[in-house]
Structure formats: C-alpha cells, structure tokens
C-alpha cells in the first residue's frame, strides 16, 4: 500500500476547462467528507466538484452532475491503480465552453488526479516491528546517538530509573543483532507489537 507524501493542489486546462485536483491525507471517512465539504465551499461557483476517496475498507466516488461514470470512477481508478490508501481527491471543474464528451471527461478527470499524485509524491506503507529498548542513563546518550546515526526510527524516549526507547524497525532480529554489537550485549530489546510506517518509495 501507498499514501501520498503530502496534500496539495494541481491544475490542468483542457479546451479552456480548468480542472483543479485537491489531494489530502485522511484517516477516516468522516475526515474525507469534511475535506470534500471544505473544497466545495471554497469552489461553490465551480461547475462540478467531483470526488473520490479510499480509507480503511471504504472507497467512494461522486460524479457531482457530470455524466455517470465519467468523473468519480476514473478518479477512484487512479487511486486504486496507484495502490493509494487514506487519501481523498476532489477535482473542481470550471467549464470552458467546449464539451469534452464522455471519453474526454474520463481522460481529463483521471489525468488531473494522476498528475496531482505525481506532483505531491508517494510513500510506501510498511509494517515495522515496535521494540522497547531499556538502557541505563550511563549508556543512553551514546545509544541514542547511535540509533539516530544508523537511521533507526526512535518513536519515543521515556526517562525514569532507566531510559526506555521505543524503536520501530523493519527487521526485529537484525536490529537486535545490531544492538548487541553496539552495546556489547549490555542492552536488549523486546518486541512489543507492530506499527505501520510510511517510508520513501
């Protein structure tokens, strides 16, 4: 699965019709609908505000008055083809006076979303192991530096009688070997669960 790297707006023009694709990262259907409502409010004078979104097990699209299947469906197909999740797309059309026909509309709405995704970029969603690393205060400073230098994802650091790092890694066994080598076996890590992490493609 993939997610967009950031939200953004991309505009194309086809036979004097303007197509503005607004993309956003969302985590629920409610967030997607809220974003759609905001775009529609901002572009209330537009001819159409067509939509598509994918979150969890829900995916929906709307042609918003365009001929059935010519806008929302091709928009959603781009999201599916790119394997994108937790994303909403709204393509706002300002009519330019020239009819594009069903095929032209399908190509225009699909192109608007595809180019917008290319512009904002994507990240790959990968399942990482979550580990708890407990170190003495004497070792913690050097270990924290080594974790960051090696590019490990340190999600949290808690200070008490000892220092506990919550670390997310793609390979738990490989990380434990690295940790043993870094600390001479003085520090170990326990797997506490898993977490989805968005990494560069």
pLDDT of residue 85: 97
Q: Are residues 98 and 57 in the same domain?
A: yes
Domain that holds residue 85: 2-120
Q: Are residues 134 and 193 in the same domain?
A: yes
pLDDT of residue 68: 97
Residue 36 makes CB contacts below 8 A (sequence gap 6+) with 49, 51, 53, 88, 90
Residues lower than pLDDT 50 in the chain: none
pLDDT of residue 95: 96
Q: Are residues 103 and 32 in the same domain?
A: yes
* The total number of structural domains that make up the chain: 2
pLDDT of residue 201: 79
Q: Are residues 93 and 155 in the same domain?
A: no
pLDDT of residue 56: 87
Q: Are residues 12 and 97 in the same domain?
A: yes
Residue among 101, 82, 105 nearest 19 (CA): 105
Tell me the CATH number at 45.
3.30.230.30
153 three-class SS = strand
Go through 13-41 and write b for each residue having 16 or more CB atoms within 10 A of its CB, e for each that does not: ebeebbbbbbbbbbeebebbeebbeebee
Q: Are residues 187 and 138 in the same domain?
A: yes
Q: Are residues 116 and 84 in the same domain?
A: yes
Tell me the CATH number at 146.
3.30.70.240
Query: Within the chain, where are the H helices?
Result: 29-42, 72-81, 101-120, 137-149, 172-183
pLDDT of residue 109: 98
pLDDT of residue 157: 97
pTM to 2 decimal places:
0.83
């Amino acid at each position: 699965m993939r997610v967009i790297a950031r939200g953004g707006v991309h505009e194309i023009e086809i036979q004097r019709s303007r197509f503005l694709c607004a993309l956003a990262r969302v985590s629920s259907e409610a967030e997607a609908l809220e974003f759609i409502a905001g775009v529609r409010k901002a572009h209330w004078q537009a001819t159409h505000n067509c939509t598509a979104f994918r979150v969890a097990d829900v995916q929906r699209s709307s042609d918003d008055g365009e001929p059935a299947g010519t806008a929302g469906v091709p928009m959603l197909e781009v999201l599916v083809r790119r394997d994108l999740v937790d994303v909403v797309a709204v393509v706002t059309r300002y009519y330019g006076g020239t009819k594009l026909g069903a095929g032209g509309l399908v190509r225009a709405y699909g192109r608007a979303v595809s180019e917008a995704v290319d512009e904002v970029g994507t990240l790959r969603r990968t399942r990482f192991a979550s580990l708890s690393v407990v170190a003495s205060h004497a070792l913690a400073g050097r270990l924290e530096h080594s974790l960051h230098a090696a590019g490990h994802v340190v999600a949290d650091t808690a200070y008490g009688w000892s220092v506990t790092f919550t670390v997310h890694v793609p390979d738990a066994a490989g990380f434990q070997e690295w940790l043993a080598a870094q600390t001479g076996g003085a520090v170990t890590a326990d797997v506490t669960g898993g977490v989805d992490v968005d990494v560069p493609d």
